A and B are shown apart, each in its own frame.
Chain A
Amino acid sequence: MSSKLRFSSKRFLLTLMLCACSVILLQNYDLSPNASFTFNLICVASGLAICFVLFIPAIIIKSRTNLDFLTVAAVKTPRLKIPIAVFYSVYFIFTAEFFLLPYTDMFRKKYYYDVTPCLIAALLLITCVYAAIKGVNVITRFGIFLFAFAMLTNILMFGGSLGQMDFSLNTFELTGGFPDYIRNTLYFVTPAFIAVLFACLSGKTKNFRIRQTVFALIFTGVKYALVLFFIWFALGAYAQRQEYQTFLLSRAAHFSSFGGIESFYLALATMSVFMIISLMLCAVTKSVKRESDLKTVIIFVVILFAAHACGTYLNSVKEILTNTTVFVIFTAIAAAVIPSAYIFAGRKSNARKALHNITMS
Chain B
Amino acid sequence: MRAKLCIILLCLSSLTLTGCQSSGKIETASIIENVSIAEDNGKICYTFYTLTGGDKPWGIKIPASSFESACDLAEREYIPNLSLSKLELLMIEDTLVDKVMKNDIEYISTQPSFSPAALVTLCDKKTIEKFAETTREQNLIEEQLILLKNNNPEVNISYLSVFNNFESDKNSEFTVGYITCGEELSVNEKKLKKD
Name A residues whose Cβ lies closer than 8 Å to a Cβ of B.
Answer: 109-110, 164, 166, 168-169, 235-238, 241-243, 248, 251-254, 256-257, 259-260
Check B110–A260 contact: CB distance below 8 A.
no
Q: Mark B139-167, 1 if CB is under 8 A from A, else 0.
A: 00000001000000000001111011101
Check B163–A260 contact: CB distance below 8 A.
no
Check A251–B168 contact: CB distance below 8 A.
no
Residue B182 at the A interface, CB < 8 A? no
Q: A236-B164, A251-B115, A252-B160 are in contact. Are A242 and B170 (CB under 8 A)?
A: no
Q: Select the residue from A110, A166, A235, A257 with max chain B CB neighbours within 10 A.
A: A166
Which one of B112, B117, B168 lies within 8 Å of A169 (CB-CB)? B168
Q: A164-B160, A166-B161, A168-B170 are in contact. Are A241 and B109 (CB under 8 A)?
A: yes
B167 partner residues in chain A, CB cutoff 8 A: 236-237
Check B117–A252 contact: CB distance below 8 A.
yes
Check A169–B164 contact: CB distance below 8 A.
yes
A235 partner residues in chain B, CB cutoff 8 A: 116, 160
B124 to chain A, nearest CB (A): 26
Which one of A110, A166, A252, A257 lies within 8 Å of B116 (CB-CB)? A252
Residue B21 at the A interface, CB < 8 A? no
A-B pairs, 3 with minimum CB distance: A237-B167, A236-B164, A241-B109
Check A164–B170 contact: CB distance below 8 A.
no
User: Which chain B residue shows the least CB distance to A252?
Assistant: B116
Contact-residue size bin, chain B (C-beta under 8 Å from the other chain)? 10 to 19
Residue B23 at the A interface, CB < 8 A? no
CA distance A257 to B110 in the complex (A): 24
Check B115–A260 contact: CB distance below 8 A.
yes
CA distance A61 to B160 in the complex (A): 50
A242 partner residues in chain B, CB cutoff 8 A: 109-110, 112
Residue B171 at the A interface, CB < 8 A? yes
Check A238–B112 contact: CB distance below 8 A.
no
Check A166–B164 contact: CB distance below 8 A.
yes
Q: A169-B170, A242-B110 are in contact. Are A164 and B161 (CB under 8 A)?
A: yes
Instruction: Enumerate B59-84 residues with CB–CB distance to A below 8 Å.
Output: none
Check B160–A238 contact: CB distance below 8 A.
yes
B168 partner residues in chain A, CB cutoff 8 A: 169, 236-237
A250 to chain B, nearest CB (A): 11
Q: A164-B117, A169-B171, A252-B115 are in contact. Are A241 and B160 (CB under 8 A)?
A: no
User: Which chain A residue shows the least CB distance to B146?
Assistant: A256
Which one of B109, B117, B163, B164 lies within 8 Å of A259 (CB-CB)? B117
B117 partner residues in chain A, CB cutoff 8 A: 164, 251-254, 259-260
B163 partner residues in chain A, CB cutoff 8 A: 237-238, 241
A251 partner residues in chain B, CB cutoff 8 A: 115-117
Apart from A237-B163, A242-B109, A242-B110, 17 more pairs, CB < 8 Å: A109-B112, A164-B117, A166-B161, A166-B164, A168-B171, A169-B164, A169-B165, A169-B170, A235-B160, A236-B160, A236-B164, A237-B168, A238-B109, A241-B109, A248-B116, A252-B117, A257-B146
CA distance A264 to B171 in the complex (A): 36
Name B residues whose Cβ lies closer than 8 Å to a Cβ of A.
Answer: 109-110, 112, 115-117, 146, 158-161, 163-165, 167-168, 170-171
A256 partner residues in chain B, CB cutoff 8 A: 146
CA distance A251 to B164 in the complex (A): 17
Check B165–A110 contact: CB distance below 8 A.
no
Q: Select the residue from B116, B117, B146, B163 with max chain A CB neighbours within 10 A.
A: B116
The 13 sampled A-B contact pairs (Cβ below 8 Å) are A169-B168, A169-B171, A235-B116, A235-B160, A236-B168, A238-B116, A242-B112, A243-B112, A253-B117, A254-B117, A256-B146, A257-B146, A259-B115
A257 partner residues in chain B, CB cutoff 8 A: 146
B100 to chain A, nearest CB (A): 18
User: Which chain B residue shows the least CB distance to A241?
Assistant: B109
Check A241–B164 contact: CB distance below 8 A.
no
B18 to chain A, nearest CB (A): 15
A223 to chain B, nearest CB (A): 22
A234 to chain B, nearest CB (A): 8
A238 partner residues in chain B, CB cutoff 8 A: 109, 116, 159-160, 163-164
Check A241–B110 contact: CB distance below 8 A.
yes
CA distance A257 to B89 in the complex (A): 13
A260 partner residues in chain B, CB cutoff 8 A: 115, 117
User: Which chain B residue shows the least CB distance to A242?
Assistant: B112
B165 partner residues in chain A, CB cutoff 8 A: 169
CA distance A109 to B159 in the complex (A): 21
User: Which chain A residue shows the least CB distance to B109?
Assistant: A241
Check B112–A110 contact: CB distance below 8 A.
yes
A340 to chain B, nearest CB (A): 44
A124 to chain B, nearest CB (A): 14
CA distance A236 to B163 in the complex (A): 9
User: Which chain A residue shows the least CB distance to B165?
Assistant: A169
A286 to chain B, nearest CB (A): 28
A159 to chain B, nearest CB (A): 14
